[in-house]
């Protein structure tokens, strides 16, 4: 069974631009969560989706948004990119909320 | 806010020895805990989990111990191998379903 797939793996963007990252969960998994990982802040929760609804959101500005589609695939969007948004963005999926979560390889975003 | 933390940022272990990685959490409402292993350039890999109604769970070469009284979690790795070198994170969640991660412990296995 394929794992969590994130695309693209690497991305370089310029300040002020916007970016969309994609996540395909493990087949059958309905809950998708997003995390930001940086050397200084560690792994920080961004948001969680279940049945196309955002059920929980971390402490990030409104520039960070996401959505989930009917097939459970999810995207996250960051608008007006800042240098500090450079990070590894990780997606995790689980069968249902509160169950064991499996991570993808992440998208490495560099803002220049 | 509530946070999950690891006692030591680094751990150096002789190959073949047992490793113990510790984690303290502060949210008394936490009821589900997961250990992850992250190798360089990869996403966190699920190792083992435990719910708050248990105090011990064993997997292949790994054991997780949970002490709810002192809000402490540990991961024991038996017969540590070079492939065990990685950063290990504990994570906890309560009824809000978001995972809160500790800062991580970097384990280095000496040959």
- A43 chain-B contacts, CB cut-off 8 A: 44, 89, 91, 99, 101
| Residue of B98, B102, B106 for testing the chain A interface, max A β-carbons within 10 Å | B98
- Do A58 and B104 make contact, defined as CB atoms within 8 angstroms? no
Q: Of A31, A97, A103, which is closest to B43 when you measure between CB atoms? A: A103
Nearest residue in B to A102, CA atom: B46
- Are B87 and B23 in contact by the 8 Å Cβ rule? The answer is no
Tens of pLDDT, residue by residue, chain A (112 residues): 689 999 999 999 999 999 999 999 999 999 999 999 998 888 999 999 999 999 989 999 999 999 999 999 999 999 999 999 999 999 999 998 888 899 999 999 999 9
Q: What gap in Å lies between CA A82 and CA A25, rounded to an integer?
A: 28
């Amino acid at each position: 069974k394929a794992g969590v797939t994130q695309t693209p793996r690497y991305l370089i963007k310029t300040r002020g631009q916007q970016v969309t990252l994609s996540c395909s969960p493990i087949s059958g998994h309905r809950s998708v969560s997003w995390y930001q990982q940086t050397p200084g802040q560690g792994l920080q929760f961004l948001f969680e989706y279940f049945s196309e609804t955002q059920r929980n959101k971390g402490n990030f500005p409104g520039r960070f948004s996401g959505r989930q589609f009917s097939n459970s695939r999810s995207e996250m969007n960051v608008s007006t990119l800042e240098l500090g948004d450079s990070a590894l963005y990780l997606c995790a999926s689980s069968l249902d909320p509160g169950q064991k979560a499996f991570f993808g390889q992440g998208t490495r975003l560099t803002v220049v | 806010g509530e946070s999950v933390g690891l006692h030591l940022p680094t751990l150096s272990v002789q190959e073949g020895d047992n490793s113990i990685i510790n984690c303290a959490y502060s949210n008394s409402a936490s009821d589900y805990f997961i250990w992850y292993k992250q190798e360089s350039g990869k996403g966190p890999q699920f190792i083992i989990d435990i719910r708050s109604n248990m105090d011990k769970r064993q997997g292949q070469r790994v054991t997780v111990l949970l002490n709810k009284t002192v809000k402490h979690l540990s991961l024991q790795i038996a017969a540590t191998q070079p492939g065990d070198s990685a950063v290990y994170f504990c994570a906890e969640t309560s009824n809000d379903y978001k995972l809160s991660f500790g800062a991580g412990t970097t384990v280095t296995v000496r040959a």
